[in-house]
Structure 1
Amino acid sequence: MSETAILKAKSEINKSLVLITFCMKSMGLSFEEPRNVMTFLFQKLVFILSVCTLCYHVFGDFVYIGITLSNSPRVEDVVPLFHTYGYGVLSMAKGFALWYKKDKFKQLIDELAVIWPDPQSDKEAQTIKENSLSTLHIAHQWYFAINIIGLWFYNLTPVAIYMYESLLGQESKMGLIWVSWYPFDKYKPVIHIFVYIFEIFIGQTCVWFMVSTDLLFSGMASHIGMMLRILQRRLQNVAISNQTDEEVYKDIMENIKLHQRLIRYCKDLSDAFSLAFLVNIMLSSVNICCVVFVIVLLDPIMAVSNKLYLGSALMQIGILCWYGDLIIHANADVAVSAYNSGWYRTDPRCRRALIFLIQRAQKPIAFTAMGFTNVSLTTYSSILTTSYSYFALAYTMYNKNST
């Protein structure tokens, strides 16, 4: 690709990642170099503040769970504490992956620009690209909106409960957003205000870490899927037009090289997210189980907030598994497209090259959670099944305590 085409590709890629850039800058991270010393210092300050806040949130929730277990180990007292704690731990794991692999992600974005489809040479590829980018844009907007709306429902729930009880003439007390431990009396008048603001910042920080990482993965995975679909179309057209054997062989070799680059790209992306995937899969079942338990059995007042949390949790792990599954099937379809090409019109050398491509495409490529399991819709189904099993166990224990 020419330098102009690469710059245009980078512009299109950056435009598709605009929400990610916004979320990252909100927590003090960026793929761009700071323009000056003041910008650099400000980013570091915001990042350190975000990390310290998130670490205290996880620590405070952990201590509160420990205190609750020691005082009242009933399932209805303990289970409601785990989904917010799990969300904090998951945000921390994803934030660590994003910070630690930031340079790697920047490198992957730069590498993607080199193989980005050029609309000047292939109009059909341009159509595939536009449809993919449009779908990705809608998915990112919905995911971002649901997380932000859910967060602010949580933030404003204590205020809404206080106003509702006051209107009914009941004795009301302004609560807090999260159930967390503090080494002081958090309900003193002035301190209560600062704690409330601090907990708003906690929730927003968790969402920035969570959303930025999920959108980054889904964006890059979507682009890989798009490139695999373009590769499928190119393979289907092999030897269809009047080309010489040398031209056909050159075309096949270019497609093989593109496929190999996409395989390496998937592997690098999987390695960067592997730890975050493992923590996500381990915690998602617990988070979903606990919030369903609260919605169904315990707290109808918080139902709207918790339902939005449930929707966000289901969408969060679902979007990862969806794009992971997309890559698995898109790679498998490469072999089908190669077989559906005009290979029977080619010479033995071209056929051998296509056989090599088909054999490699039949070997699955997938994002993995530290090698334990693939990230796919099958994994999503397993998470939901496990969540139901946990819920059934908690429900049985709850009924036993009630009787």
Structure 2
Amino acid sequence: MEHYYKVNEFLLSSIGQWPYQKKYSKLFFYGSTVFLLVTQGFLQTGGLIAARCEPAIFLEALPPVMISLMCIVKYINFIYNADKMKDLLDAIKSEWNSLTEEKEIEIFKNWAYDSRKSTLMYAGAVYGSLVPLMISPIIPFFIDLIPDNSNDTIPRLTMFHVEYFIDVDKYYYPLLIHSYFGTMAYITVVVAIDTMFMVYVQYACSIFVILGHRLENLVRTDILMVNANPNLIDDEPYRKIIKCIIKHSDAIEYAHLIESANSVSFLIQLGINMICISFTGLQSALKVDQPHEAFKFASFTIGQTFHLFFESWPPQRLADESERINEYTMRAPWYNTSLRCRKLLQLIIMRSRFPCQLTAGNFYILNLQNFSAVVRSCMSMFTLLSSTQ
């Protein structure tokens, strides 16, 4: 377990939210993260308020503030539901210790490996999208190093439009370093919590796949069963199906726990995502004559779209795997089981007709179909905003 979830442990520990983290380490990283989130958010909000009378600057400062708000929502939700998050992780740990069959262990390891790979890919993509944003403030510094540079009036840039309430030119480099650390804290919150959400969901998927494997192997013989009403003590498939029903109920309950721990947070994030995609897309279009600025906001847009996709893709896989139980049950050698077994199989079939779905606020279903609908809505909003300029 430690091998597959080591990256998730490192990311959550760096923001003080790993459930098994040592007390003093947890307090230190938690305090550092809160300090950076609060100070960075305060300065960005101050810059937004200061620019309220200048529409162009206001529109430029709005997306970073909205993204910061989304990160804070994630962090607060994770802290508020810390007990549920720990219960979800405890279930994974318990499953690692309970599996004994080689094929089931292999299935579980494959899904855990997929979670690790997805975590690394998502972290690389999100941190990579941050590079243009972090490079733009230091471009003037490198230009100043060019010999015989005739342009002596290059303004010093900041990562965002902020209101520092002090002399920015005098304390430029300390403030720039603070903005770098603050931005890294926000991004780490996003990556740590999103990837852990993906781990939870893919664990639930693995349980449905293991359940399907058990259903397909209820009877390990091709000989037709003559006695349809054997003694209960001799009916091994019946005992297996009872365990399958319990496992199915546990998987559904686990999915409901994921839903209850994240539903409200996803609703707020969805609204912020739509606003950010529209406004950053607008800014990149308006600043097409300033390539480095346009590229910065285009990377914002791509990053937010990718973030929305990453929150829709794991729930889509969960819905597919939970619905596939119906298919596994149909392929099971039910004709070789007793009548009492067949009645229990009917219960599994009826329950699997309704896939496990994760929602945002119990009305928006997180899946790829709705993701494409949201992206289309954002493009429509972007078109509308562009026409008003």
Output the TM-score relative to the length of structure 2.
0.89
* SS of 2:366 mapped into structure 1: coil
The 1:114–1:48 alpha-carbon spacing in structure 2 relative to 1, beyond 3 Å, is closer
1:280-329 superposed Cα distances (whole Å, 9 cap, x missing partner): 21111111122222223314213444344333322222111000111111
Percent identical among aligned pairs is 18
Distance 1:117 1:349, change over 3 A: farther
> Against the structure 1 CA distance between its residues 120 and 53, is the aligned structure 2 distance closer, same or farther, given a 3 Å change threshold?
closer
Q: Does the 8 A contact of 1:221 with 1:327 survive in 2?
A: yes
Indicate which of 23, 35, 38 corresponds to 1:55.
38
**How far apart, in 1, do the equivalents of 2:67 and 2:157 lie?**
21
Change in 2 beyond 3 A, CA 1:114/1:30? closer
Correspondence for 1:386: 377
Find out whether 1:154 has 2:142 as its counterpart: no
Worse-superposed segment, 100-109 or 322-331: 100-109
Structure 1 pair 223–368 and aligned structure 2 pair: CA distance change class (3 A): same
Q: Which runs of 5+ in 2 are unaligned?
A: none
Q: Secondary structure at the match of 2:360?
A: coil
Aligned to 2:270: 281
> Residues of 2 paired with 1:269 and 1:261: CA distance?
12
Normalising by structure 1, what TM-score?
0.86
Residue of structure 2 in register with 1:8 after alignment: none
Residue 334 of structure 1 deviates from its aligned partner by 0.5
Question: Aligned pair 1:44/2:42, yes or no?
Answer: no
Task: Please give the residue correspondences for 1:4-403 in structure 2 after superposition, counting only pairs within 5 Å.
Answer: 12=1, 14-34=2-22, 40=24, 43-69=26-52, 71-73=53-55, 76-116=56-96, 120-123=100-103, 125-164=104-143, 167=146, 169-170=150-151, 171-187=153-169, 189=170, 191-241=171-221, 246-298=235-287, 299-398=290-389
CA displacement at 1:211 relative to structure 2 = 0.8
Structure 1 residues 128 and 161, CA gap change in structure 2 (3 angstroms)? farther
* Alpha carbons 1:146, 1:308 under 8 Å: kept: no
Q: Is the 8 A contact 2:259 2:358 kept in 1?
A: yes
Q: How many residues align structurally?
A: 375
Q: Which moved more, 1:271-280 or 1:100-109?
A: 100-109
Q: AA paired with 1:29?
A: Q
> For each residue in 1:376-396, what CA deviation from the matched residue of structure 2 results, as whole angstroms up to 9, or x when unmatched?
112211220121011011110
Which amino acid in the other structure matches residue 48 of structure 1?
G
Q: CA deviation at 1:160?
A: 1.7
Unmatched runs of 5 consecutive residues or more in structure 1: 1-11, 399-403
> Per-residue deviation at 1:135?
2.4
Q: Is the 8 A contact 1:162 1:173 kept in 2?
A: no
- Checking the alignment, whether the CA contact within 8 Å between 2:315 and 2:358 is kept in structure 1 is yes
1:247 to partner: Cα distance:
0.7
Counterparts of 2:298 and 2:263 in 1: how far apart (Å)? 29
Q: Distance in 1 between matches of 2:97 and 2:298?
A: 41
Q: CA-to-partner distance for each residue in 1:202-233, whole Å, 9 max, x for gaps?
A: 10110111111101000111111122112122
